[in-house]
Amino acid sequence: MEWPILTWIVFLPLLGCLVILLLDKTWHNAIRWTALIATSVDFILTIILFCKFDGSNTDMQFVVGPFPWIESLGVTFSLGVDGIAILLVILTPFLTAIAIASTWTSITEKVKGFMISMLLLQTGMLGVFVATDLFLFYIFWEVMLIPMYFMIGIWGGGRKIYAAVKFVLFTMFGSLLMLLAIIKLYVMTSPDPLLRTTDLMTILNMKITPDLQVWLFLAFALAFAIKVPLFPFHTWLPDAHVEAPTAGSVILAGVLLKMGTYGFLRFCLPLFPDATLQFVPLISILSLIGITYGALISMVQKDVKSLVAYSSVAHLGFVMLGMFALTTQGVTGSILQMINHGIATGALFFLVGVIYERRHTRLISDFGGIAHVMPLYATIFMIVTLASIGLPGTNGFVGEFLILLGTFKANPVYAVIGTAGIVLAAVYMLWMVQRVFFGKCDKEENRKMADMNCREAFIALPIVIMIFWIGIYPKTFIDKIEPSVKKVIETVKSKALAGDEAAFEVYNSSFENAREKGKSE
């Protein structure tokens, strides 16, 4: 049998957890190093995975199982990774390692508990991305809530309890309805209780009536939309982001939100194609509202961290917009944008953490002109900001461009509104940078701030590399994901075609019209 690399990737952090449990709680450095080594090794494993990953193959690769796990409930233990998940699998240990490294001086109390939460969280997130069994997916999906909850609640600041409880309740609300939908799918697999299964492959081959699809889609979509967060469900996000410790924010923005978008792509689209086509306008419009709303509300934020938090709403709106364009470029761009957002926003939170550690404030008005005292910091911040805005040459550009291209093919109006969102993003980000870094350094405290130290610079380095790599040579990544994306879109369309001829016709004609309009313009 092949070496089950995916199993190792998922459970290696858990192993690190066990080692940390054995360490005394006062050995802070040993605990930190153990955690960092565990995630780093995990990261190396994912790089190996990426190198061995066959981009042209659209099936699940490195498949583990399906091993029977809970036979009476038809649950199997089965993991697999395809083009949709591969980048997210790499992103997770990458950002976790960065997050752990960023806590070296900021988390000095209860280090043991923090690191254990961090590693548990990592296992949960990786599990979500590679699980190919609905039950297994759900378990990872929920399990990861608890460490995040503790992270916000114990190491957070200000209104941490409020934020933590709100985070748990919001996420739980969606996911419990998803649980019912999973059970419903499970019950539908077979009339004989013994033959039922929650294996994704079996469920994908199942015919579901369009009426039922709508309900199941809604149940799944609610869970994912809350996580993304799509416009009206976003209220937990600013609270959670602002109150979470730096490392928590990095993970939250970098990986956790992607679980929602990933869920749409992995489950909603291929499982409920008819419903997907029906909901395209609704979700696109919600995404557009999210993009505009996020941008507008970011402008008025006084706190850098909440500004970044609200900008996430806008960015994730882009991801959703591209995905529901249901074109190859759109979906590819949306996957790439997930990674970009993970890197850029994760980096922004980390950088905000850096000055917060020095000044214990994050208010924009408390800073000004710090580019003079912290040149290195200002440079890196600038690069990351530009990546976040989507300047050509940085990763953000590639993602947003692909998304807009794909959306334009499907519906030009959406694309136009989306472009306006990009402009707004440039406005609030650059305005913030201008207020924080440039101008006169007129505050006494700011003059004494030290620039980034070696550790911090070393953390920032891989981020900068990734920003430019994806920005300049995205082919490395796009090659791996595009075939899988095509397959998903084909699945959606062919299944919808088989299931509901009429609905597809409507969609298809609008699709064609849009394409022609695009050509004529």
Sign of CA dihedral 427, 432, 434, 437: negative
Is residue 237 left, alpha or beta, with left meaning phi > 0 and alpha meaning psi from -120 to 50? alpha
Out of 15, 145, 289, 503, point to the residue binding another protein (CB under 8 A). 145
Of the candidate residues 19, 106, 142, 391, the single one contacting another protein (CB under 8 A):
142
Q: How far is the CB of 271 from another protein (least distance, A)?
A: 17
**Cα–Cα distance, 457 to 462 (Å, whole number):** 9
> Is the Cβ of residue 62 or residue 140 nearer to another protein in the bound state?
140
Which tokens go with 412?
A: 């030009």
Size, binding site for another protein by CB under 8 A? 34
DSSP reduced 3-state for 372: coil
Which member of 183, 289, 299, 457 binds another protein (CB under 8 A)? 183
Of the pair 149, 437, the CB lying nearest another protein is at: 149
Of 153, 273, 353, 399, the one binding another protein (CB under 8 A) is 153
Binding of residue 289 to another protein (CB under 8 A) = no
Stretch that binds another protein, among 137-145, 224-232, 412-420, 500-508 (CB under 8 A): 137-145
Give Cβ neighbours of residue 222 (< 8 Å, ≥ 6 apart): 173, 174, 177, 178, 233
Taking CB under 8 A as the rule, does residue 423 contact another protein?
no
Q: Which of residues 154-173 bind another protein (CB under 8 A)?
A: 154, 160-161, 164-165, 168-169, 172-173
Amino acid at 104: W
* Three-state helix/strand/coil letters over 288-336: HHHHHHHHHHHHCCCEHHHHHHHHHHHHHHHHHHHHCCCCHHHHHHHHH
- Is position 216 an interface residue for another protein (rule: CB under 8 A)? no
Q: Is 416 in the site for another protein (CB under 8 A)?
A: no
Per-residue buried b or exposed e for 225-262, using 16+ beta carbons within 10 Å of the residue's own CB: bbbbbbbebbebbbbbbbbbbbbbbbbbbbbbbbbbbb
Q: By CB under 8 A, name the one of 110, 486, 515, 517 that touches another protein.
A: 110
Q: What is the DSSP letter of 507?
A: H
143 touches another protein (CB under 8 A): yes
CA 50 centroid distance within chain: 18
Nearest distance from residue 174's CB to another protein, in Å? 10
Angle between helices 375-389 and 412-437 in degrees, nearest 10: 170
Can residue 177 be called a binding residue for another protein (CB under 8 A)? yes
Residue 259 or 291 having the CB closest to another protein: 259
Q: Which is nearer to another protein, 152 or 496 (CB)?
A: 152
Q: Would you count residue 149 as binding another protein (CB under 8 A)?
A: yes
The secondary structure of residue 195, as a DSSP letter, is G
Of residues 64-93, those binding another protein (CB under 8 A): 69-73
How many Å is the Cα radius of gyration of the chain?
22
Q: Which of 252, 464, 466 is nearest to 346 (CA)?
A: 252
Under rule CB under 8 A, residue 189 binds another protein? no
Are 71 and 56 in contact by the 8 Å Cβ rule? The answer is no
Per rule CB under 8 A, is residue 186 in the interface with another protein? yes
110 vs 487 by CB, closer to another protein = 110
Q: Using the minimum distance from each CB to another protein, give the nearer residue, 201 or 212.
A: 212
Q: Which of 89, 90, 126, 179 binds another protein (CB under 8 A)?
A: 179
**Minimum separation from the CB atom of position 173 to another protein (A):** 5
Per CB under 8 A, 18 contacts another protein: no
Closer of 183 and 391 to another protein (Cβ) = 183
Structure tokens at 467: 């920003």
CA 151 to chain centre: 18
Cα-based distances in Å from 138 to 91, 96, 206, 291: 21, 21, 20, 29
Q: Which residue's entry shows tokens 């909603």?
A: 268
Shortest reach from residue 193's CB to another protein, in Å: 7
Residue closer to another protein (CB basis): 180 or 363: 180
Among 18, 180, 413, 465, binds another protein (CB under 8 A): 180
- 26 counts as binding another protein under rule CB under 8 A: no
Nearest Cα to 403, choosing from 346, 339, 335, 468? 335
206 lies in the site for another protein, by CB under 8 A = no
Task: Please state, in angstroms and rounded to a whole number, the distance separating the CA atoms of residues 129 and 262.
Answer: 8
**Residues of the shown chain interacting with another protein in the complex, contacts defined by CB under 8 A:** 69-73, 110, 138-139, 141-143, 145-146, 149-150, 153-154, 160-161, 164-165, 168-169, 172-173, 176-177, 179-180, 183-184, 186-187, 193
